[in-house]
A and B are shown apart, each in its own frame.
Chain A
Amino acid sequence: SAVISQKPSRDICQRGTSLTIQCQVDSQVTMMFWYRQQPGQSLTLIATANQGSEATYESGFVIDKFPISRPNLTFSTLTVSNMSPEDSSIYLCSISGSPGEKLFFGSGTQLSVL
């Protein structure tokens, strides 16, 4: 199974600042997904990051707020921009080689915005 390193594992940030979350995989993968899990809630897809193309954002999420980079098949970043307390959540990256496979998840980033 793939090994995913996600960092930071947690951070406390001030309102108005930005945080970049990194996701590094030990093998090349086609699809990388970024999810948000608000307190006590389920996971909601933010965007799909495919190498060599713009990320595909879900309804309610925009590139200006959550810019994503995918420079190669083993790495991606998600930035949470101009943060507000409402952005306090767990952010998780996940990967898959093909649609039928299970998704592997990173260990998540616990973000608290003051």
Chain B
Amino acid sequence: AQTVTQSQPEMSVQEAETVTLSCTYDTSESDYYLFWYKQPPSRQMILVIRQEAYKQQNATENRFSVNFQKAAKSFSLKISDSQLGDAAMYFCAYRSPRRGGSQGNLIFGKGTKLSVKP
């Protein structure tokens, strides 16, 4: 079974600085998808960034980028020029490409609470 580990329960960053959130995962599959979701106090789960395992190029979305190391099974999120609105819980998630039963659902890490200091 796949597992996702986020080893940083809490992180803090100064506004306008850069912060990196760590995520490792375990799987025997060669093809899969990885995601970072943000959950502010409103409870809404918001997709931050998505990475397909077969793509070597790291995904980038504006101030958000990932460092995807497939051999090391590592998928860290870098937030540049941090803003107050970035403060939230961040969840790393794994998704299998397989169908059937409960396949295709997201397996989440425990989350990292990010605080942004003005």
Contacts and interface: CB of A to CB of B under 8 A. Distances in A.
A83 interface: no
A99 B102 contact: no
B102 A102 contact: no
A43 B109 CA distance: 8
Contacts of B84: none
A56 B101 contact: yes
Nearest to A90: B43
A45 B98 CA distance: 16
Nearest to B31: A100
A105 interface: yes
Counting contact residues on chain A (CB < 8 A from B), the size range is: 20 to 34
A44 B102 CA distance: 12
A43 B108 contact: yes
A41 B50 CA distance: 22
A96 B99 CA distance: 11
Given A42-B110, A42-B111, A43-B91, A99 B104 contact: yes
Secondary structure class of chain A's binding surface, majority of residues? strand
A41 to B, nearest CB: 7
Contacts, number: 65
B35 A99 contact: no
Interface in A28-74: 31, 33, 41-45, 47-48, 56, 58
Interface string A71-114: 00000000000000000001010101011101101011010000
A108 B104 contact: no
Given A100-B52, A102-B35, A56 B102 contact: yes
Which 10 pairs of residues, A with B, have the shortest CB-CB distance?
Answer: A105-B45, A108-B43, A99-B104, A48-B102, A42-B108, A99-B97, A42-B110, A56-B101, A43-B108, A56-B102
30 contacts: A33-B102, A33-B106, A42-B91, A42-B108, A42-B109, A43-B91, A45-B106, A45-B107, A48-B101, A48-B102, A48-B104, A56-B102, A92-B45, A94-B45, A96-B104, A98-B104, A99-B95, A99-B96, A99-B103, A99-B104, A100-B97, A102-B35, A102-B50, A103-B105, A103-B106, A105-B45, A107-B42, A107-B44, A108-B44, A108-B45
